[in-house]
Structure 1
Amino acid sequence: MSNHGKVALVTGGGQGIGRAIALRLAKDGFAVAVVDFNGETAKKVAEEINQSGGRAIAQLADVSDRDQVFSAVEAAKQQLGGFDVIVNNAGIAPTTLIEDITPEIVDKVYNINVKGVIWGIQAAVSAFKSLGHGGKIINACSQAGHVGNPELAIYSSSKFAVRGLTQTAARDLAPLGITVNGYCPGIVKTPMWEEIDRQVSKAAGKPVGYGTQEFAKNITLKRLSEPEDVAGCVSYLAGPDSDYMTGQSLLIDGGMVFN
């Protein structure tokens, strides 16, 4: 495997898309640091990787805390013997009408979705420099970071910010041999989407499932995404076949947004 001996860290790796990414990167040959706000779920994913013949560690971290992110990256570097890829996957997506947005919602979403990415980028760059080589930074964006989604103003705006960070970081870090790219899922069968559906359906006075039906109307492939669909895209971004790509945010949404 071309990725054998390399180390990747995945934030939000304890469930949903993050779990699928961690499992896929382990299958690709990476040693994986599974980082999550929920230490138990991170531990379960790491155990799953280890039991299947891979190599993984679990780490508890809140990505909104810069020191915790730096500590997680340093621990991965020390315990797994290197550092090559970071996947800044952790994120939250509360639904809010424009007039219902509060300072608390803004702070919470931006602390995790935007600051968490910034701290991850910084920590990865520090690790790459200390090891004397470049690396790959991969950020979670969203189709909602390409087109504003109804009732997701703060989430959408945070993902537009991630796209901008990805482009700027790609330009700034290229001289160091570091590529920076993003992946932009659509509607993925995860606990986070189930919560979005519940909130949207409730706001519309409809039964659970209404939100999913409304959003799914715009999917060209006429099915919701599995987490593994997204993990395949991240696998490409983490591997050598994407070495000549930087500053891009790839849509993996079943055909919701066309550019």
Structure 2
Amino acid sequence: MSLSDQVALVTGAARGIGRAIAETLAADGVEVVVADIDADEAELTAKAITAGGGRAFAAAHDVRDEQSSADVVARILERRGRLDILVNNAGVGPRPGPFHTLTADEYDRVMSINARGLFLTTKAATPPMIEQRSGRIIHISSVVAKRASPNILPYAASKWAVIGMTQTMARELAQYDVTVNAVCPGVIRTQLHEGVVEKMSTLYDKTEDDTWQMFYDRIALGRLQEPADIADMVAFLASAKARNITGSAFNVNGGMEFN
């Protein structure tokens, strides 16, 4: 699925799923903009991709900041003159607890990154795609956007919002041959999920091993997903093979959720 000479902006790309997406796209010939709020880590990831024969450069980007979105897209256009792929991966995990005990600040913290941040980056990235009359926009949602889970209301709300935005954007951008899709990962042993498990263990008065086993028990295939599994789906959706797919949200969760 060669994507040679295309340009992709991947948010939250310094580590975890985002890094895997950046590496996979680069291996397929894409020049990847490794965007992350952690500029130093983004630079390390970009250098690793370049050392491996790919093309990448780092960009500091805070998805909560509208000006940051405008600046990173302007930098891409100045450097390459086009933007073909946007992957909205940047996100933050929940601090688990019954919703009636959560503060408004906690709700806003999650929504500002996972939902508002996605909106702001996509808003900035869309005009050049409309002008080109081509583009691929891929949002990273979650299994919890399709299967309710207790004690993570802000996170679930933000990921449900991602699917809603996916469908609305797909309708609006279809006339420009810009597709918009979402990927819904299941359980992946990243730094983000390890932090969630630690907090859930305290909440449920379980050991961390027992909490991990609780997740394993919900997965039909009986194994966690890897960042590369998500990256492979993103690469497919970015390719010409997916040219007639838009407005969809694809599960990559080992059978944790089938709808």
Matched residue, 1:161: 161
Work out whether residues 14 and 36 of structure 2, in 8 Å CA contact, stay in contact via their aligned partners in 1: yes
Q: Deviations over 1:79-128 (max 9, x none)?
A: 24421000000011112321222110111111100011111221121222
Work out whether residues 42 and 59 of structure 2, in 8 Å CA contact, stay in contact via their aligned partners in 1: yes
Matched residue, 1:11: 11
**Distance (whole Å) between structure 2 residues aligned to residue 42 and residue 140 of structure 1:** 19
- RMSD over aligned CA atoms reads 1.2
> Is 1:109 the equivalent of 2:110?
yes
Work out whether residues 10 and 89 of structure 2, in 8 Å CA contact, stay in contact via their aligned partners in 1: yes
> Is 1:134 the equivalent of 2:140?
no
SS, match of residue 192 in structure 2 = helix
Q: Deviations over 1:30-64 (max 9, x none)?
A: 00000011111111110011111111110111101
SS, match of residue 9 in structure 2 = strand
Matched residue, 1:203: 203
**Distance (whole Å) between structure 2 residues aligned to residue 45 and residue 74 of structure 1:** 21
**Distance (whole Å) between structure 2 residues aligned to residue 205 and residue 80 of structure 1:** 52
**Distance (whole Å) between structure 2 residues aligned to residue 35 and residue 190 of structure 1:** 18
**Distance (whole Å) between structure 2 residues aligned to residue 54 and residue 74 of structure 1:** 22
Q: Quote how far apart the aligned CAs of 1:8 are.
A: 0.4
**Distance (whole Å) between structure 1 residues aligned to residue 67 and residue 43 of structure 2:** 21
1:62-77 equivalent positions in 2, closer than 5 A: 62-77=62-77
Matched residue, 2:121: 120
> Is 1:47 the equivalent of 2:47?
yes
Matched residue, 1:88: 88
Work out whether residues 74 and 127 of structure 1, in 8 Å CA contact, stay in contact via their aligned partners in 2: no
Work out whether residues 86 and 137 of structure 2, in 8 Å CA contact, stay in contact via their aligned partners in 1: yes
**Distance (whole Å) between structure 1 residues aligned to residue 234 and residue 130 of structure 2:** 23
Matched residue, 2:225: 225
Which segments of 5 or more consecutive residues in structure 2 lack a partner in the other structure?
Answer: none
Partner letter of residue 50 of structure 2? N
Question: Which deviates more, 79-88 or 56-65?
Answer: 79-88
Work out whether residues 26 and 54 of structure 1, in 8 Å CA contact, stay in contact via their aligned partners in 2: yes
**Distance (whole Å) between structure 1 residues aligned to residue 169 and residue 130 of structure 2:** 15
Work out whether residues 130 and 178 of structure 2, in 8 Å CA contact, stay in contact via their aligned partners in 1: no
Q: Deviations over 1:226-254 (max 9, x none)?
A: 11111111111111111100000100000
Q: Quote how far apart the aligned CAs of 1:216 are.
A: 1.7
Question: Which deviates more, 228-237 or 97-106?
Answer: 97-106
**How does the TM-score come out when normalised to structure 2?**
0.96
Work out whether residues 24 and 235 of structure 2, in 8 Å CA contact, stay in contact via their aligned partners in 1: yes
Count, aligned residues = 258
Which segments of 5 or more consecutive residues in structure 1 lack a partner in the other structure?
Answer: none
Work out whether residues 96 and 154 of structure 1, in 8 Å CA contact, stay in contact via their aligned partners in 2: no
SS, match of residue 208 in structure 2 = coil
Q: Quote how far apart the aligned CAs of 1:211 are.
A: 2.3
SS, match of residue 138 in structure 1 = strand
**How does the TM-score come out when normalised to structure 1?**
0.96
Partner letter of residue 188 of structure 2? V
**Distance (whole Å) between structure 1 residues aligned to residue 116 and residue 97 of structure 2:** 20
Question: Which deviates more, 101-110 or 17-26?
Answer: 101-110
Task: Percent identity, please.
Answer: 38
